[in-house]
Amino acid sequence: MTTISKENKITNKDLRQIMWRSLPMEFGWNYERQMHLAFAYMMAPLMKKLYHKNQKEYTESLERQMEFFNCTPQLVPFIGGVVASMEEKNSEDKDFDVSTISAIKTALMGPLSGIGDSLFLGTLRVLAVGVAASLSMKGSILGPILFLLIYNIPAYLVRYFGVKAGYSMGTSYLDKIQKSGLMDKFKEAAGILGVMVIGAMTQNMVVVKVVAKFGTGKTATSLQSVLDSILPGVLSLLVLYIFYVLNKKKINVLWQLLGATIIGVLLTVWGVLGV
Amino acid sequence: MSNLGTALLIGLVGFIGPLDFAIGSNMLNRPIILGPLVGLVLGNLTQGIIIGASLELVFMGAISVGAYLPPDVIVGGVLGTAFAITLGKGVGAAIAIAMPIAMLSLAIGNLTSVIFPAIAHIGDRYAKEGKPGGITASMWGIGLIECTRRGILCFLGYYAGSAGMKALLNVIPQNIIDGLQVAANMLPAIGFAILLEMIINKTILPYFFLGFLLSAYLKVPVLGVALFGLIIVIVKFHSDKKQTVLTTSTSTKEDTNYDDDF
């Protein structure tokens, strides 16, 4: 455990600010990068503080916060704390590789969503409804009140302690890694975890379903079942690859979005794809 | 109160429901909370509490987990409660009305959400200029459009009645609604592609496919994939260590430590 010393640039006040700014995490949600705007909103003041001396570093740091993000809202302050520690390191150390920040952020958000969703939405919420519903059914106003308390008291505790835990864990490990000269290995490890999680999320979250069949009448075989028997989600992989190539070619993301929407609608109207 | 005035207040409940996303996702937008508010508007708090709780149980599974977007519980719950109280038909009617309306609202939401990524890109432009205020504004822009859409649906829905809602559903062809959903389901790939470009290099590329295949064939959840990844990382760097003799005992210990947490 590292105590936050005076020479550290990030103070408890900064961490509390991250906690409060994590509140609108599900506001501004969109299909493309999901919670990225709220994540950037959460981190923006700290970026100003860490990089205010260098406009280029500052704008780059803001753009970094705008990458794809999605996680159970209550666990986001923890990730915010970890990212804060890495950004702090990056602002002090010119050799720090910023791609590590993206890798760690990605490696954390997937698994923490799994834990957070089952903890908060699967367990705590169900518990709160269970306790509150019987009171509500009798028409008692205590029902809704109890529902909110049971759900939100643990939720806010996790937010409050999460940001501090994330930050102190981040700094203590980063220090150790740096002292032992393992930064390159750390970068590779972070990269491996990051791309594995992206691979799994691509399979899970990018959904492409073919409804077209070949053959007629009773002998018709659905193309999707054939694809699934080869590699489930192979089309998600294809879609990701297309976007990857388009990004490499620096095609404006807005065109990509527009193109994807038009193609998606056309292929559905023609009966190739479906929901 | 006139019908118009009541409809406006119902619309207001539909507007403030999703505002909960701006103040911490505190579950204020669930039927168990919005039901009593609707009851308050219609002068029957007790019925609102009871119907809200029933709808909460019905919509228990309708919650966004991962990429799955559930039927719109906010609009469905508000209008279901409102019609059930005004028609005096109780819980059964509320459920019958709430379900189709929730589906309709999800469909309309898919229609309006097409423009959200474009608004988000205005935020990108401000990030490039070092103006975080623009990021905040984009966030609020998207969020408030969502609140307004739901508020208007609740207002119109209550004002036009359930027959009017059905007519609205028939205006938009189903395959267009489906098509937008199909397109929306592909869009996270853009975000992933950008992330991949940041992180990936030739040495770690196979691990991307490992993650994908674990999920595809073995149905391992994302958390499981990350834990497998953790083991790979630990094993990989420990065997690396044995080959390079120079390591001291302390750094081995530290090595294990950071592997545990990241």
Nearest neighbour of B139 by CB, restricted to A24, A182, A196: A24
Residue A224 vs residue A8, higher pLDDT: A224
Question: Which of B47, B85, B103, B212 is the best substitution to test chain A (most A C-beta atoms within 10 A)?
Answer: B212
Residue A8 — very low, low, confident or very high, per pLDDT cuts 50/70/90? Answer: low
Q: What is the pLDDT of residue A6?
A: 43
Q: Do B22 and A197 touch (CB under 8 A)?
A: no
From chain B, pick out residues whose CB is under 8 angstroms from the CB of A131: none
Nearest neighbour of B113 by CB, restricted to A31, A133, A148: A31
Q: Do A199 and B132 touch (CB under 8 A)?
A: no
The closest of B121, B28, B244, B53 to A131, measured between CA atoms, is B53
Q: Is the pLDDT of residue B145 over 90?
A: yes
Q: What is the DSSP letter of A6?
A: T
Q: Across A137-238, where does the E strand assignment appear?
A: 213-214, 221-222
Report pLDDT digits (tens) over A92-122: 888 888 999 999 999 899 888 878 887 888 7
A37 in B contact zone (CB under 8 Å) = yes
Checking ipTM against 0.90, whether it exceeds it is no
From chain B, pick out residues whose CB is under 8 angstroms from the CB of A141: 36, 45, 49
Q: pTM of the full predicted structure?
A: 0.81
From residue B25, give the alpha-carbon distance in Å to each of A23, A101, B20, B31. Answer: 7, 26, 5, 14
Q: Do residues B14 and B151 touch, judged by C-beta distance below 8 A?
A: yes
Rounded Cα distance, B42 and B38, in Å: 6
Q: What is the pLDDT of residue A181?
A: 74
From chain A, pick out residues whose CB is under 8 angstroms from the CB of B123: 37, 40, 66
How remote is the C-alpha of A72 from its chain's centroid?
Answer: 8
Q: What is the DSSP letter of A22?
A: T
Question: Which of B20, B59, B204 is the best substitution to test chain A (most A C-beta atoms within 10 A)?
Answer: B204
